[in-house]
Amino acid sequence: MKRIFKDIVFVAIFLLLLGICSDIFVLKGNGYGSDVWSFYELKRNSLDVVFLGSSHSYASFSPEVIEKQAGLKSYNFATQQQPMSITYYYMREALKRHQLQTIVLEARMLTVDDAFMKEGVVRDALDKMPLSFNKLRAINASVEKPQDRVSYYLNIIKYHNRYDRLNKNDIASGILRNGIDNNGFKALESKLDIWNDNKEILKIEEKQEISDKNLFYLEKIVNLANERGIRLIIVKSPCLLAAKERKNLNWVEQYATERGIEFIDYNERVEELGLIAGDYYDKGHLSAKGAEKVSVDVAKYLIADQQ
Contacts of 162 (CB under 8 A, 6+ apart): 25, 27, 170
Would you say how long the chain is, in residues?
307
What Rg value do the Cα atoms of the chain yield, rounded? 20
Sheet holding 49-53, edge to edge: 74-78, 49-53, 102-106, 231-236, 262-265
More confident residue, 262 or 24: 262
**Backbone torsion region of residue 91, taken as left when φ is above 0, otherwise alpha when ψ lies between -120 and 50, otherwise beta:** alpha
Tell me what the pLDDT averaged over the chain comes to: 89
- pLDDT confidence of 29, banded at 50, 70, 90? low
Question: Which range is least confidently modeled, 14-28, 225-239, 256-270, 289-303?
Answer: 14-28
210-239 per-position pLDDT tens digit = 999 999 999 999 999 999 999 999 999 999
Lowest mean pLDDT, pick from 4-18, 37-51, 100-114, 233-247: 4-18
**Residue 32 pLDDT level (bands cut at 50, 70, 90):** low
Q: For residues 140 and 104, give the distance between their C-alpha atoms in angstroms, rounded to a whole number.
A: 25
Domains of the chain plus CATH, in order, are 32-128+183-306 (3.40.50.1110)
User: Global pTM?
Assistant: 0.90
pLDDT for residue 150? 92
Q: Are 259 and 215 in contact (CB under 8 A)?
A: no
Q: State the amino acid at position 4 in one-letter form.
A: I
Residues of the chain with pLDDT > 70, as a percent, come to 84
Q: How far apart are CA 72 and CA 68, in angstroms?
A: 8
pLDDT tens for each residue of 115-163: 889 998 999 899 888 889 999 999 999 999 999 999 999 887 776 676 5
Rounded to whole angstroms, the Cα distance separating 136 from 98 reads 21
